[in-house]
Structure 1
Amino acid sequence: MSSVATTRPVLTAERDEGIRPTVRSRLQEALPKIVLAPSFAAIVVFVYGFILWTAYLSFTTSKAFPSTNWDGLRSYEKLWRWTFESSPPSSWYTSITNMGIFGFLYVFFCLAIGLGLAILLDQKIRGEGVLRPIYLYPMALSFIVTGVAWKWFLDPGLGLEQTLHNLGWTSFHFDWIKNKDFVIYTVVIAGVWQASGFVMAMFLAGLRGIDGEIMKAAQIDGASPLQLYRRIIIPLLRPVFLSAFIVLAHMAIKSYDLVVALTSGGPGGSAWLPSNFMYEYTFKRNQMAVGSASAIIMLMGISAIIVPYLYSELREKSR
């Protein structure tokens, strides 16, 4: 890194002195571009190129295989017609309803629990070095592992319910994972368990970055601990709240493997999220245009969250 970083000053000095740059200095200047070129080309092709390809397919009559027959907005019309006109509710309606439930509860509880854990650890409690990795450990697991573990734990014939029955509490029942009206809440439980520690780490870093003199001045002025957090500390954590919200919302919208591993889609697809709908219709029901349309709608949802955030960050830096 240091040798590459020094090439530009050397070349600038050579040009300022009227010395013609040597072949070696030119190669050193071009080296970073040469190293990054393959990765940049791969991103352009396999990320942005396939996004454009998916958008194109959503306007065609593609079924099991891609088609170039233009069909306009028919796939998008079909999705929203299923949403508002179908009876019983369509799987797309179920998916976006579940997305609203899962997204709101997932973000809310992760923020609340993460902030609470960060405040707890910020009190310099004994054993902080042990508790911090314990809270962070779930984030090291894949969603597949988390889903399978919680599937065993919530299975009425195998996990929590069966264990309490064996202990004599035979009246206890917890069958949400097999109940189509409550199965989405089991996805919320597993997701919150996995991500809360990560949010805790973000808030803890924010708390440790607050100037201690501000808190000491507030305490001297007679502020109680509750007032200190409510009026000073939490408002100062606004950038952390925003960053955590962006990360969690992005994770919620693209969630797929957690639903599959935990519920296998739920009874009758009752736990589907838009990502599950997209996979099912694209690769199993041979409705590639409809699946592509749902993927573009997901992309628009993510963009509606990330683009304003990036705009505000760039605007703040320009100021």
Structure 2
Amino acid sequence: MPSLQTASASRFGRLVDVVLPKIVVAPTMVASLVCFYGFVLWTAWLSLTESRILPKYEIVGLVQYQELFSNERWWAAMKNLGVFGGLFIFFSLAVGLLLAVFLDQKIRREGALRTIYLYPMALSFIVTGTAWKWMLNPGLGLEKLMHDFGFSDFTFDWIVNPDMAIYTVVIAGVWQSSGFVMALFLAGLRGIDDAIIKAAQVDGANLPTIYRRIVIPSLRPVFFSAFMILAHIAIKSFDLVMALTNAGPGLATDLPSIFMYQHGFNRGQLGLGAASAMIMLATAAAIVVPFLYSELRSQRRG
């Protein structure tokens, strides 16, 4: 009799071990499916309707997409995204890698420097945009400071110059994100076996060659992860631009996320805003999927 009770308790314990984790995880999974994939499908449906202030569910085809692609502001926003996204990702990766290599030399006060470099990431993009807006304002920031020091011919009016304003967004974005990229690269550098580097040094390789030929190529997974994160930040950038330039002057720093928000919520064009959201999703997929496929393919070959 005790053996039967023991066997029953054992079966019950195994059942609990199998079922309980699924019960615990199920609400989160359901919420994720509904709040992400469910609303993605809902947005895709709205993009095929004539929804204005309120949703309409009668499909009318690709009318909203035709209107979107004939909108000059949309193409200006996409052009700005290309400039901002390309420069933001490149310089964030470059600065982050350089900082990581610098800290990897086992310098003194590494902990303090690492904290300083990481600090900008602790700020919200609203704070970053506001701070850089003050610093780049010709009447308040850097230009006025240089004039006060006697450099009366110094000018730095990028933030009010339509041809240069997008680059101020790049500067602020790189300042905030490069420390986070540094942390990713530094973790990757610290994970490389020192024996490989010592063996290269024994063979006569100098430090720049070791980093160029051995260390940096081994950081490919880190490059991939950092690129994915930075591309995501670039495509959804909204608060940084609104705080720094308010999408101006004119449309000089307008981005698709701002277009989507203003048309979908402020101008009662819900269908057009949904269409722009779907194009943003497709843009993100067009960037991420090829890199993901390439990375998975290289891993299978490895």
Amino acid at match of 1:144: I
**Where does residue 295 of structure 1 map in the other structure?**
277
Q: Which runs of 5+ in 1 are unaligned?
A: 1-13, 83-89
Which one-letter code corresponds to 2:260 in the other structure? M
Q: Which of the residues 19, 23, 46 maps onto 1:30?
A: 19
Deviates more, 1:299-308 or 1:174-183: 299-308
- 1:283 pairs, out of 262, 265, 269, with 265
CA distance in 2, matches of 1:215, 1:134: 28
Q: Which residue of 2 aligns with 1:130?
A: 112
1:207-286, aligned counterparts within 5 Å? 207-286=189-268
Alpha-carbon distance in 1 for matches of 2:129, 2:173: 9
- Structure 1 residue 101 displacement after superposition: 0.3
Partner of 1:148: 130
Q: Match of 1:5?
A: none
Q: Report the Cα distance in structure 2 between the residues aligned to 1:53 and 1:206, rounded to whole angstroms.
A: 40
Give SS of 1:173's match: coil
Distance 1:20 1:216 in 2: 57
| Equivalent residues, number | 297
The alpha-carbon deviation at position 33 of structure 1 amounts to 2.0
SS at 1:156 equivalent: coil
Q: Kindly provide the amino acid, as one letter, of the partner of residue 44 in structure 1.
A: L
| Pairwise CA RMSD | 2.1
**Deviation of the 1:204 alpha carbon:** 0.8
C-alpha distance in 2 between matches for 1:115 and 1:305: 21
Question: Structure 2: where are the runs of 5+ without partners?
Answer: none
- Once the two structures are TM-superposed, the CA of residue 270 in structure 1 deviates from its matched residue by 2.0
CA deviation after TM superposition for structure 1 residue 309, in Å: 4.3
Corresponding residue for 2:64? 75
Picking from 36, 49, 64, the partner of 1:60 is 49
Question: Aligned-pair distance for 1:30?
Answer: 2.4
What is the CA deviation profile of residues 55-105 of structure 1, one whole-angstrom value per residue up to 9, with x for unaligned ones? 0011111112111232211111222223xxxxxxx2111110001000110
SS for the counterpart of 1:268 is coil
Select between 39-48 and 196-205 the one with higher mean Cα deviation: 39-48
In 2, distance between residues paired with 1:148 and 1:291?
27
TM-score by length of 2: 0.92
Q: Deviations over 1:223-272 (max 9, x none)?
A: 12221111111111111111111111111111111111111111223211
1:205 is aligned with what amino acid?
A: A
What SS class does the counterpart of residue 248 from structure 1 fall into? helix
Which residue of 2 is the match for residue 85 of structure 1?
none
Task: State the identity as a percent.
Answer: 58
**Cα shift at 1:27:** 4.2
Give the secondary structure class of the aligned counterpart of 2:70. Answer: helix
1:4-60 deviation line (CA, Å, top 9, x unaligned):
xxxxxxxxxx9xx97586656544532222222222222122211111110001111
Shift of 1:197: 0.5
Alpha carbons of structure 1 residues 94 and 199: separation in structure 2 relative to 1, 3 Å: same
